[in-house]
Amino acid sequence: MPSGFSWSELGVDSARIHVVKEAELPSGRREFVLYWCMVNHRAEENHALDAALALGNHLGLPVVVYLALRPDYPHASERLHAWALEGMSDVAAGCASRGVPCWMELPRTADEHVARLAELGRRAAIIVSDLFPTFIIPGHLHGAARAVQVPLVAVDASCVVPMQRVATLQAGAYTLRPKLQKLWPEYLGRILPARKPKVSGHRLHPEFEPADARAAREALGSFDIDHDVKPLAERGGRKAGLDALRTFLQSKLEGYDTQRNDPGHSHQSNLSPFFHWGNLFAGEAARAAIRARGTDHPAVRSFLEELLVRRELGFNYCLHTPVPRQLSVESLPAWARDTLSAHQQDRREHLYTREDLAAARTADGLWNAAQRELRERGRIHNYLRMLWGKKILEWSPTPQQALERIAWLNDKYAVDGRDPSSVANFMWVLGLHDRPFQERKVLGKVRPMSSLRTADKYDLGPYLARWARPEDAPVKIKRVRRMAAD
Ligand SMILES: Cc1cc2nc3c(=O)[nH]c(=O)nc-3n(C[C@H](O)[C@H](O)[C@H](O)COP(=O)(O)OP(=O)(O)OC[C@H]3O[C@@H](n4cnc5c(N)ncnc54)[C@H](O)[C@@H]3O)c2cc1C
């Protein structure tokens, strides 16, 4: 970090800071501190915005928030653009209410985008961005670091316990959980107050024509993106996220521990896209659940396990695994790698193409229903998501191809995709963060899951009524039940 101050003097937790570009503060007059907001689309309880404001106040400079949306990121579609723009529109409103200028633009190419960052970098004293250890974000940060001469830091506004507090790759939830639990007293109740800017930026001008997120949302047809993946009926953004959190606490938290896994009951929170796009901070959702029922309520304990342990396990995996190796069988634990390799030549009962899978054209009616939910609702019920991934592993020529298909299908359609939780769970399908099971064909010792057993375990009637189609193979529920009764 530039000499002359420390993060703790500024009231910023240094564990959240990752220095991307080490440089001295520029000696000449600069106009602002820049928060280049890539991931955390919220103006409230955003540690990156807070760090930018702390720096601005210290240096006697205003803060400017800069948002950009390009059409060329992997899987860019009307669905993803819509969610991004809805979030950005709420960021603009949130910044306005905090007296922070928010400049948005829609660069068409990487060159345009990098040139803009270089230009803003010549006006800024320092650039703050988001620490998000997967997808295109690390690459964007390193590209920007080459283009600017000022310090560039990435701030963790995603995890409740800053991901850098756990310094090593964890084998599973069982090793991460006790480490996080030790740190929860320090972090769980910590509310980030809304720091006020000491210097107003209202006279600053972007020196480019800023875009309007709301108008862009209405003009999705004009972008060079995938127009077949349609926006969801559900809206993205901060306001929608807070509404979804309220609905969850009021009507779904009770029973979450016993019914979350049951696809017939809708007891999941449905909050994952809001966390992925940073519309909500996981800490505020955790605190709200604790306020609603108390820490010891079984539903709250179960929700915190998912939100704080399982979710942060994904960040741990991505933080400690370089992006090119995150989706590789080579990054699996040795037992999983070895067993999958030993069974690579086993005959598969079905082999489908990626296109068959995308079109939900398999002999498994339940799988087809789950794939349709993914295509149309932008995610899959958690239990069926596990089954969905396991079947792709069984039905692909090699484990590596299975991984690539799971990632492609999930990230193309899922509004919560392209996230550390996506990456870690794709890898979980192949054995990451898991243990060996009894050996069988194709999967070896990797945990199996069966559509037949799922259908027998849960009442899938309501789920199939919503997502199955007449052309699907019937889901064999009664046969298994009868056999059990015989
Ligand atoms: C093959 C596969 C792909 C997946 N892809 C994604 C993805 O792209 N994005 C994504 O966010 N999650 C993914 N998951 C994890 C999990 O299925 C979703 O987080 C969960 O279903 C989201 O629904 P919810 O918000 O209602 O979850 P809830 O049950 O209400 O859980 C609350 C929050 O905890 C977190 N969480 C819950 N389960 C998990 C988990 N297993 N791992 C990590 N975090 C979890 C999420 O942030 C979630 O919003 C995937 C799981 C599998 C098996």
- In a domain, residue 220? The reply is no
Query: What is the rounded CA–CA span in Å between residue 269 and residue 282?
Result: 12
Q: How many structural domains comprise the chain?
A: 3
Which residue, judged by its Cα, is nearest atom 30 of ligand 1? Answer: 269
417 Cα–ligand 1 center, Å: 10
Q: Which residues pair with 468 in a beta bridge?
A: none
434 Cα–ligand 1 center, Å: 16
- In a domain, residue 222? The reply is no
Average pLDDT, the chain: 95
73 has a pLDDT exceeding 80:
yes
Kindly give the number of the ligand 1 atom that is closest to the alpha carbon of 275: 47
- In a domain, residue 201? The reply is no
Reported confidence tier of residue 2, pLDDT bands at 50, 70, 90? low
Reported confidence tier of residue 474, pLDDT bands at 50, 70, 90? confident
Which domain CATH number covers 120?
3.40.50.620
Pair 44, 102 in one domain: yes
Pair 182, 329 in one domain: no
| Entry pTM | 0.97
Tokens of residue 410, six digits: 């999930």
Lining ligand 1 with CB less than 6 A are: 260, 268-272, 275-276, 306-307, 310-311, 314, 382, 385-386, 389, 406, 410, 414, 416-417, 419, 421-422, 425-426, 429
Query: What is the rounded CA–CA span in Å between residue 381 and residue 369?
Result: 11
484 has a pLDDT exceeding 70:
no
**Residue 201 φ then ψ, to 5°:** -110, 20
Kindly give the number of the ligand 1 atom that is closest to the alpha carbon of 426: 1
pLDDT in tens, 416-461: 999 999 999 999 999 999 999 999 999 999 999 999 999 889 999 9
Which residue, judged by its Cα, is nearest atom 18 of ligand 1? Answer: 382
Query: How would you classify residue 4: left for phi > 0, otherwise alpha for psi between -120 and 50, otherwise beta?
Result: left
What single string gives the DSSP state of each residue in 286-337?
HHHHHHHH-TTSHHHHHHHIIIIIIHHHHHHHHHTS-HHHHT-GGGS-HHHH
pLDDT in tens, 303-358: 999 999 999 999 999 999 999 999 999 999 999 999 999 999 999 999 999 999 99
Which domain CATH number covers 433?
1.10.579.10
Kindly give the number of the ligand 1 atom that is closest to the alpha carbon of 410: 8
Reported confidence tier of residue 264, pLDDT bands at 50, 70, 90? confident
Q: Which of 425, 429, 449 to mutate to test the pocket of ligand 1 (most atoms within 8 A of CB)?
A: 425
Q: Which domain, by its residues, includes 480?
A: 323-485
Mean pLDDT confidence for 398-403: 98
Query: What is the rounded CA–CA span in Å between residue 302 and residue 387?
Result: 21
407 Cα–ligand 1 center, Å: 14
The neighbour count for residue 287, using CB atoms within 10 Å, is 17
Mean pLDDT confidence for 384-407: 98
- In a domain, residue 230? The reply is no
Pair 168, 316 in one domain: yes
Tell me which amino acid residue 213 is: A
